């Protein structure tokens, strides 16, 4: 029996680039907003681009937020990409206070206006930037296990996540003097701020490792 990965369709995501990346690593995917399909799937991806509050409103509208929370409780693999990672957190300050899915305790905050030199920080960050392990042992048992330390990944974001528990940080990056969590991991959940599907072969490795986890329960 082939394993199925559901990609949540709530109107705010780069669905097809993620779908293509999954197909490249042999995953059978379905882009869906059907709760029954999500429940039956073997893995779940929450994508996202745009504003945090709009995204949460869309997820709550058809109880997709509830379906995501129920899915995570099953212990099956869950992956949040870009805004999808931010939505995993408790809250965001983007355009006022907005509650998130609270899968990982913490806040999503905006990059500061100025760096340490008093220079204006350009946001969003749209560039290739490096990722580093917060804990090499955790890195080696995650979807990043064969990605080189200091590898460049493609980022597009104005806000970043601040986990309460630093042990949930999988990779960190730095932008204009701000060191932040660029990927997180907790139990069966992984969140990635950058876009692996737009990050060349090294990014596709992340999807391949996650696919292996779905199939073998091991990275």
Q: Is 22 a catalytic residue?
A: no
Would you call 195 a catalytic residue per the annotation?
yes
CA 79 to chain centre: 6
CATH 3.40.50.880 fits 4-216, yes or no: yes
Q: Return the domain boundaries, the chain.
A: 4-216
Each residue's pLDDT expressed in tens, for the chain with a length of 219 residues? 578 999 999 987 779 999 999 999 999 999 999 999 999 999 999 999 889 999 999 999 989 999 999 999 999 999 999 999 999 999 999 988 999 999 999 999 999 999 989 999 999 999 999 999 999 999 999 999 999 999 999 999 999 999 999 999 999 999 999 999 999 999 999 999 999 999 999 999 999 999 999 999 888
Residue 157 among the catalytic residues: no
Instruction: DSSP for the chain, please give it.
Output: ---EEEEE-SS-S-HHHHHHHHHHTT-EEEEE--HHHHHH-SEEEE---S-HHHHHHHHHHTTHHHHHHHHHHTT--EEEETHHHHTTEEEE-TTS-EE---SEEEEEEEPPSB-TTSPBPPSSEEEEEE-EESSHHHHTTSTTTTSPTT-EEEEEESEEEEESSGGGEEEEEEETTEEEEEEEEETTEEEESS-GGGSHHHHHHHHHHHHHHHHHS--
Query: Partners of 90 in the beta sheet?
Result: none
Q: Are 193 and 160 in contact (CB under 8 A)?
A: yes
User: 0.85 exceeded by the pTM?
Assistant: yes
Choose, from 82, 94, 151, 157, the residue flagged as catalytic. Answer: 82
């Amino acid at each position: 029996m082939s394993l199925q990965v559901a990609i949540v369709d709530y109107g705010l995501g780069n669905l097809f680039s993620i779908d293509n990346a999954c197909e490249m690593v042999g995953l059978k995917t379905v882009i869906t907003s059907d709760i029954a399909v999500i429940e039956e799937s073997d893995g779940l991806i929450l994508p996202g681009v745009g504003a945090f509050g709009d995204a949460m409103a869309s997820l709550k509208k058809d109880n997709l937020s509830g379906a995501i929370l129920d899915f995570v409780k099953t212990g099956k693999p869950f992956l949040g990409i870009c805004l999808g990672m931010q939505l995993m957190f408790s809250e965001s300050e983007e355009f006022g206070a907005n509650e998130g899915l609270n899968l990982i305790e913490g806040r999503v905050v905006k990059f500061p206006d100025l760096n340490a030199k008093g220079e204006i920080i350009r946001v969003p960050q749209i560039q290739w930037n490096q990722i580093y392990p917060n804990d090499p042992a955790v890195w080696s048992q995650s979807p990043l296990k064969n990605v080189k330390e200091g590898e460049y990944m493609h980022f597009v974001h104005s806000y970043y996540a601040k986990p309460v528990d630093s042990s949930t940080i999988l990779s960190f990056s730095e932008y204009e003097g701000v060191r932040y969590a660029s990927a997180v991991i907790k139990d069966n959940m992984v969140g990635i701020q950058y876009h692996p599907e737009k990050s060349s072969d090294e990014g596709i490795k992340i999807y391949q490792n996650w696919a292996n986890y779905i199939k073998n329960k091991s990275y």
